[in-house]
Amino acid sequence: MVLIEIPQFFNQPASSQARDASFVRGDLNHDRHVDILDAFALARQLKQGGPGNLPLDVNGDGVVDERDVEALVVRAVKLEPAGHS
Amino acid sequence: MKTGLTLLFFGLAAGLLAQQPAIEEGRSRFRAVDIYVDSGSTPLAAYQLEFAATNGVARIVGIEGGEPPAFHQPPFYDPKAIQHERVIIASFSTATAGLPTGKTRIATIHYQTADTQPPQFELKLQTAGDRQGNKLSVKASFMERKPQ
């Protein structure tokens, strides 16, 4: 298991993150979508062993590990009603 | 009165049963569609696609990985897609070598269909990436496998 210190930004309460209208939790590459490229970005960071400056603790459990990659993948492929995914 | 209601009930039930699609009556076949991504000369490291059967005669029953080692494992998908008509598949590889270039079969989708009419499919590329995680312009396509 790879453990990485969470950047200070992500210890902020969600309300302060929500003030930034462009903030999408899990949108690591800042393209306003959570997709496989976000999971890929996090997987690459974990493989390289460094947190970089990405918002990494996606599932909010205080640890950055493969489970955050999984959380991003699950969100990326989640089926919403037609036309909403 | 009671007899009338009973007859109405059986009449409605018979009508509903008569409308059951052929796919549920056993007159069905299992087929497969190969999914391809062509990334040109740039190695493909990640992709995400939406696949759908659009005319109501096919249901997704399984999803298989692709040809290159980097995408040999089945892609990620929502299990709710099974027995339904739409799925989002996605996969990535953090390998530094062996990523595919050119037109590559990255997955195969297995489906069950009735013989009443040929199924119609739709494939939408959602995103793709190179080994640095940059968005990559690719072409996505599919081809139905010929029945064995």
Write the pLDDT tens digit of every residue in B37-55: 999 999 999 999 999 999 9
Choose among A44, A77, A82: nearest Cβ to B94.
A44
ipTM: 0.81
pLDDT at A52: 56
Band (pLDDT 50/70/90 cuts) for residue B67 is: very high
- Sorted by where each begins, the domain ranges of chain A are 8-77
CB within 8 Å of chain B, chain A residues 20-79: 29, 31, 33, 35-37, 39-41, 43-44, 47, 73-74, 76-79
**What whole-number percentage of chain A has pLDDT above 70?**
60
Q: pTM of the entire structure?
A: 0.78
Question: Above 80 in pLDDT, residue B88?
Answer: yes
pLDDT at B26: 60
pLDDT at A4: 47
Residue B42, domain member (yes or no): yes
CATH code of B53's domain: 2.60.40.680
Which CATH architecture fits A8-77? Orthogonal Bundle (1.10)
Residue B127, domain member (yes or no): yes
Residue B19, domain member (yes or no): no
pLDDT at B114: 86
**What whole-number percentage of chain A has pLDDT above 90?**
29
Residue B14, domain member (yes or no): no
Residue B76, domain member (yes or no): yes
Residue B37 sits at φ, ψ, to 5 deg, of: -130, 130
Q: Which has the minimum average pLDDT: A49-63, B42-56, B91-105, B109-123? A: A49-63
How far apart, in whole angstroms, are the C-alpha atoms of residue A63 and residue A42? 13
Residue B43 sits at φ, ψ, to 5 deg, of: -60, 135
| A46 closest CA partner among B73, B43, B94 | B94
pLDDT at B39: 98
pLDDT at B90: 98
Q: Do A37 and B133 touch (CB under 8 A)?
A: yes
Number of domains in chain B: 1
B21's CB contacts (< 8 A; 6+ apart) are: B56, B57, B114
Question: Above 90 in pLDDT, residue B23?
Answer: no
| B78 reaches A (C-beta below 8 A) | yes
Band (pLDDT 50/70/90 cuts) for residue A59 is: confident
Residue B11, domain member (yes or no): no
Residue B1, domain member (yes or no): no
How far apart, in whole angstroms, are the C-alpha atoms of residue B148 and residue B146? 6
* CA distance, residue B112 to nearest chain A CA (Å): 20
Question: Above 50 in pLDDT, residue A75?
Answer: yes
Which of B19-23, B55-59, B111-115 holds the top average pLDDT? B55-59
Residue B93, domain member (yes or no): yes
Domain that residue B87 falls in: 27-144
